[in-house]
Structure 1
Amino acid sequence: MLNRSKSNYRNPSRLKSRFAFLFLCVGLMIVMYSCWQETKNDPLSNKLVVPLTSDPTTYDPVRMWDASSHGRTSALLYNGLTRSDIEGNVIPDLADSILISPNGLVYTFHLKRGVVFSNGQRLTANDVRFSFERLLLESPSSWVLERLVGATEFVSSIRDSSEMEQSQEDSVFVNKKRVRISGIRVIDSYTIELKIQEPFAPFLSLLALPQTYIISKDAVERWGEDYGQNPVGTGPFTLKKWQPDYYLLFERNPLYFGEKPKVESVEFRIIKEELTALAEFELGNLSFLPIPDAEYQRIISDTKRSSHIVSRNMLNSYGLNLNCGKPPFDNVLVRQALNHAIDRQTILERLLNGRGTLAHGVIPPGLGAYNSSAKGYEYNPEKAKELLRQAGYPDGFSFDIWQSTEKSALSICEAFQGYLQEVGIEASIVQNEWSVLKTAVRKGEIDSYYRAWSADYPDAENFLYPIFHSEQPTTANLNFKNKKFDRLIELARATQDPLHRITLYQAAEELIIQEAPWVFFYHGTESWVYQPWVKGLEIPLIFNGDKMNDIQIERNNSFDSDSSIEG
């Protein structure tokens, strides 16, 4: 019988494995401690520490798409010919002056002199041309510049060519022949002319988008595919360090041409959970953050924080998008009935703490075309029933509401569901990931879906044409077609007179209100809470409207010792 008593013998291979495992654990602890030390907020530092819910994937402008991470942070690194300021006004940026021809087709930009990239290279008009040609050739967002004369032909000639190269003089050659975009003309080192195919009043707004930021050709050629992790711009900050999934560190750019930032650095910490970020803020480790919905009432009720909250009506519109090409929503009376059936004000107050403005249409407050006197749909369930009877649905009907998997969206859709049931309409909620939802919407077969539309650029056109024009894809408008609306918005886009354009925008929106392709819900308000030592914080109206060079830190030791939020 074998003796199974314990032995003093130790297997050398097992010992080596244990030591290897021990060393691995110690190594991981050192790395984690190092990351913690680097991201810890030094109370005496002149550094802002700000949360990001997701890690940017790249800082190459032609591949940036996520407004919350790319758009917000890339504004610190880059400049465009124009930019949106805090209030959403489109102003010159790298351009010193801008001339627009009387017919609205030719834009002449005189560039600021003395601007250099963070690598010391001088910025010229050739950099603008290089950046725009590269955007058209390589970016999924090439639509931003597709209005340029010759843009379509330029892209087609490159993609259909058997041989393409780019010279040191920024010229693109196809089969040994130079190819240019006829709508881009470099007049001299500091003057560039852009010509568009037809008048488009918001064109300068498009040139403020992150995709149109001006980049260094030398840096792109040096880094190749890795340029997105090694960006070179002309902005007030440079990217010093990037630890994926942990943090990004931006440092003040000593070569910046504009007003120098008042802080030495900005650190963006990747914190995916809102409540985790709030806990870090309460410990004093974050400079400011958006207030989570679940904690809004607690924070605004805290006497220590009431004077350290900023709020702004944002450029967005929330509502239930109805499939106007499918019964019963092909009947305008049914669509109007749904707008009367839901008590939107009560939902806004009870589920969203009143953080928003009730929507009468789709254009949000903050834009010049917002019509505060527009007559929307009051809550009137009896009128909703009468409209259903007139439409041929006296006993109601059933349909599906599609939505994303967000909890806040679910609670809102459940409230819609309850109110609709009171007028005889049975609504079933279908939850799916955004990718699945987007595919279903594109096919145009679903009944409805709850959505939010946020501005790409601060112009009412962005809330009208992309969503409701007949030529837009099903993804945007779910089969809404109205020729009169199409004519109005087309005329508005081509109108240079801003006051006349506002009149046309409001007339186009009035048609949308009457036709009711949405159940109009609300325009959201954003609120941020900040530490008492943070000064000059404002919420930008557009996502990339703040370069953070006006925010500063002024310490007050009497408050710093007790910075937590009272429960």
Structure 2
Amino acid sequence: MQKTLVITSLLSIGLLAGASAAQANNLVFCSEGSPAGFDIAQYTSGTDNDASEPIYNRLTEFEAGGTAVVPALATRWDISDDGLVYTFHLRPGVKFHSNKAFTPTREFNADDVLFTFNRMLKPDQPFRVAYPTEFPYFNSMGLDKNIKSIDKTDAMTVTFTLNKVDAAFVQNLAMNFAAILSAEYADQLLAVGKTRDINQQPIGTGPFVFQRYQKDSQIRYKGNKEYWDPSQVKLDQLIFSINTDASARIQKLKKNECQVTLNPRPADIASLKSDKSLHVIEQSGYNLGYISYNVEHGPLGNVQVRQALDMSVNKQAIINAVFQGAGQLAQNAMPPTQWGYDDTVKDAAYNPEKAKQMLRAAGVKEGTELTLWAMPVQRPYNPNAKLMAEMLQADWAKVGIKARIVSYEWGEYLKRTKNGEHDIALIGWTGDNGDPDNWLGTLYSCGSIDGNNYSRWCDAQYDALVKAAVATSDREQRISLYKQAQHRLKDQVPITPIAHSTVNQPLRANVEGFKVSPLGRNNFSGVSIAE
């Protein structure tokens, strides 16, 4: 029997009209922002990842609600004794989506895997030449340098050969950037000169088929009736209702105008938990909110200046005001829920007077102005960046630094900070794959500059440690190296860690099958609405 949602909720966001709306088995997700596009290999934000998640599969994927890797478009894989060759055996019978301009003539096979990864690996790959773009995840993890070759053994077998051991390789391939694209669709777009449609009219193999996108309004998907795992498709329609205001999202949830939302303000959590029509899933956050110092800008290249700014931040006051009981003070560059975390890494004591002296000794004049960029969106790792920026502005005024607060639309914010336009930026991270390299390599290594290294910090000693750690499969050896790297990073202060937050996920009580991902993704596979 079909499920029924409140008809006014669908009409209110202009999604359906007429009596048919009352009969539809639909779920509305109140998302917080517009994605930059759907060619997910180009993007890194949670907003972009959420928008692409329904459309695609990867060779490997993370289990629902966890970080363990499970088979997806690869049913199994073999690893050579030297750890350099990975052979993936592909799933038969998988169909690509179709749209008005494209109908596939074949099922998923090895050619699609080769196209997906060779486009990222080879600058002269024809589709990449026609549609130039960057691949920040792929490059920041060093896959562009470490993948020696990708070969098709037969139509359903692909071999990746690496230059050196990468202990996180299988986990990396489960991340969104590794979504498998249709080589046949790409060939068609290339032939008609519409390569950019791969970003705006996406084709995948996932549980939902992309229908349309209206920026700042909605994204619509329909359930994929030909999905290779039918048990994961329980909705006829999945609709993203884009609402940048947290209060508006909560009101829509309470009125049943959406059935799942995200990132509630800490002040709203108590009322959400008291509403019997709602359910709030709570779990420890696998995240970090932090301040990033652009070491390429003026005085911030001086480690003493960064140390001074760091010790003049009143972290506890920020956590009390911004997180309101839903945050834990962070001292390290990754969360304590991550294996390899070193609990001997400690903050310098809060000491504005000493900080002021250090700044003067470093030649920084009283009244020096620095830009402080504040995120325009809410994240579990930073539920109110504007307030945090204002508190930092007051903290740094006490030591003679004039912080000028800057903000942009989220996509523009990410683009500009990755380009290094900021002096200091508020940013954060939710882990992607359960491996320490996803923090210590992806966020702070030399190779991640122009990607997710917003500090643009490149330290040879640190880089050698994280490279050595990911190049061995011996976990104890990896932990030892990562602990050394954590101490080096703490000494050099490219960032000031602020908080790890508790994740609170609100949804209607009749939503079934939704699991909170520790990786910060909102996945609607297997989700349904109860009668």
The TM tier, using the shorter chain, reads 0.7 to 0.9
TM-score by length of 1: 0.74
Residues 1:349 and 2:320 are matched in the alignment: yes
Residues 1:299 and 2:261 are matched in the alignment: no
d(CA) in 2 for partners of 1:371 and 1:382? 29
Residues 1:264 and 2:242 are matched in the alignment: no
Kindly tell me: are residues 376 and 104 of structure 1, through their superposed partners in 2, closer, same or farther at Cα, counting changes over 3 Å? farther
1:213 is matched with 179
Deviation, 1:531, is 0.8
Cα offsets for 1:323-372 (capped at 9, x unmatched): 44667545544433433332212211222223333211111244223334
Deviation, 1:231, is 4.0
d(CA) in 1 for partners of 2:200 and 2:301? 49
CA contact (8 A) 2:420 2:454 kept: no
Residues 1:130 and 2:96 are matched in the alignment: no
Letter in 1 for 2:171: S
Structure number, greater radius of gyration = 1
Pairing of 1:139-538 with structure 2 (within 5 A): 140-142=133-135, 183-222=149-188, 225=194, 226=197, 228=199, 230-239=201-210, 241-242=211-212, 244-245=214-215, 246-258=217-229, 260-261=231-232, 263-274=234-245, 275-293=247-265, 295-297=267-269, 299-300=271-272, 302-304=274-276, 308-324=279-295, 328-372=299-343, 374-381=345-352, 384=355, 398-404=368-374, 406=376, 408-422=384-398, 424-433=399-408, 435=412, 439=416, 442=419, 447-455=423-431, 457-470=433-446, 472-473=448-449, 476=453, 478=455, 480-538=457-515
Q: How many residues of Structure 1 are paired with residues of Structure 2 in the alignment?
A: 490
Q: Secondary structure at the match of 1:468?
A: coil
Kindly tell me: are residues 237 and 314 of structure 1, through their superposed partners in 2, closer, same or farther at Cα, counting changes over 3 Å? same
CA contact (8 A) 1:148 1:195 kept: no
d(CA) in 2 for partners of 1:149 and 1:485? 15
Kindly tell me: are residues 451 and 349 of structure 1, through their superposed partners in 2, closer, same or farther at Cα, counting changes over 3 Å? same
Kindly tell me: are residues 524 and 44 of structure 1, through their superposed partners in 2, closer, same or farther at Cα, counting changes over 3 Å? farther
Deviation, 1:373, is 5.1
Q: Secondary structure at the match of 1:357?
A: strand
CA contact (8 A) 2:88 2:159 kept: yes
2:6 is matched with none
Q: Greater shift after overlay, 130-139 or 507-516? A: 130-139
Kindly tell me: are residues 262 and 373 of structure 1, through their superposed partners in 2, closer, same or farther at Cα, counting changes over 3 Å? farther
d(CA) in 2 for partners of 1:79 and 1:511? 37
d(CA) in 1 for partners of 2:490 and 2:12? 57
2:57 is matched with 79
d(CA) in 2 for partners of 1:82 and 1:262? 19
1:95 is matched with 74
Deviation, 1:183, is 0.9
Letter in 2 for 1:79: N
CA contact (8 A) 1:402 1:437 kept: no
Q: Secondary structure at the match of 2:225?
A: coil
Q: Secondary structure at the match of 2:16?
A: helix
Deviation, 1:40, is 9.8
CA contact (8 A) 1:417 1:427 kept: yes
1:553 is matched with 529
CA contact (8 A) 1:401 1:413 kept: no
Q: Secondary structure at the match of 2:170?
A: helix
CA contact (8 A) 1:397 1:426 kept: yes
d(CA) in 1 for partners of 2:376 and 2:250? 19
CA contact (8 A) 1:324 1:478 kept: yes
Kindly tell me: are residues 54 and 328 of structure 1, through their superposed partners in 2, closer, same or farther at Cα, counting changes over 3 Å? closer
Kindly tell me: are residues 382 and 148 of structure 1, through their superposed partners in 2, closer, same or farther at Cα, counting changes over 3 Å? closer
TM-score by length of 2: 0.78
CA contact (8 A) 1:149 1:182 kept: no
Kindly tell me: are residues 108 and 228 of structure 1, through their superposed partners in 2, closer, same or farther at Cα, counting changes over 3 Å? same
Q: Greater shift after overlay, 32-41 or 287-296? A: 32-41
